[in-house]
Chains A and B, each alone.
Chain A
């Protein structure tokens, strides 16, 4: 039962993470392949502040703010690039952030990671705090999802979609494309930071190996599997992926083959990613179902 609660919490955290990527990838059409950097910045900032004795809610807020600032710092130069090049710039940015976590031992303790990150005081530590943490995650996910939905139907969200479809049209209509994109990235980064904070305070241990390209691919898969550019698609994708991942643990696998599970899982993810792109690039929930979203 506690295990189920654990899976639900992880799925919800990834749901928030996926929604934040969807804001950039789905709505604005920005190929951000380094989204995990903001997840990591949020997690590290919040963890370090929390460990230094700040109240958790305050350190989480500061973690989100740090991720947002990092997003703005990335956006200003990187948005001069288009398409593939933006993708590579963000990918490289994420690797640089990770190398920073690994090498700046005085701050992050390097590869050893940060243990013992406190949870919010009203939730309680260990297994006893699981139901409360789940409730906290559900509330936050709902809040994030509703905000994202509100955003998508607002004039701002519609302008983002125009930018995605055709930048020149957006410009011709008098929209400031750069400002729209920057705001989308900052917003996405803040939410990714939130997911990172939740992750750090839930797992209570983080290390640079939690914030690699694999996590980027995982969240990318959540978004494209669920349906990019939709409200609930990314959350659905996150639930499918996380439950699939956890279900693998129950397969009766002989101990000798235990080490094969992770690569096999990766192969399945890669294969699914290719298959979705070939057969159903819009994902499970299609954006254009009945055109209700527009």
Chain B
């Protein structure tokens, strides 16, 4: 009894102290206000409404009708296409997420020791694909399904195939093509963060390392560079999770929408289908909620993993 009252007393005291502090610093809240209003309207409120709509049947015309977990149940038990979408999204995310992340770091690290002018060129070359708006559509020429397609022409000339392969229509090849294109675009903001972070690692740490007998570049990477890069690694992880789970433009532009046999369907294209073609907003919101939860969980897992690096 005694302990619980003192606990509440402390809590109360804390609250009063916090309130006094908040009153003293009210100008801070004034500065924060415009951003907060917009941020809550366009980022937090949508997430909350999305969770709310996911428990309703809502088609924009009628008022939303509460149906409990029915949307989620349908999602898992009835919607076979959703399961395909989940599988495809996970295949893409599991392959392009980690590989893209590791490649971004490795190339940022390789670039780091080049002379300045060459480093600038390299940064532009590696970063350009992810900002060149819609440059991935050029892959529809490279992977075109007839003999005028560049890859098919090469295969035909070397006699590796005797008829052009339908890279963008045949379910056997679609996923590979999409993964290649996504990897090509995977060096985004995280890569820039790595390049900049590597430049900022304290040089005296390296010098101490030479004296203490760090023998080769890999030891240096593991014992010095990675631990001092942790904040950037976390930022890069957030960025690569976001891009790996939200692959939708590439499959829609290359494999068509809908794609053959739903072979290139991802969670986001599924969401688009239900949200903007069939206007089943409740169902689409359930899909969005699932995607959102998966992304948050992944982020937590990666944070836990990165805490162990270099220790």
Do chains A and B stick together as partners?
no
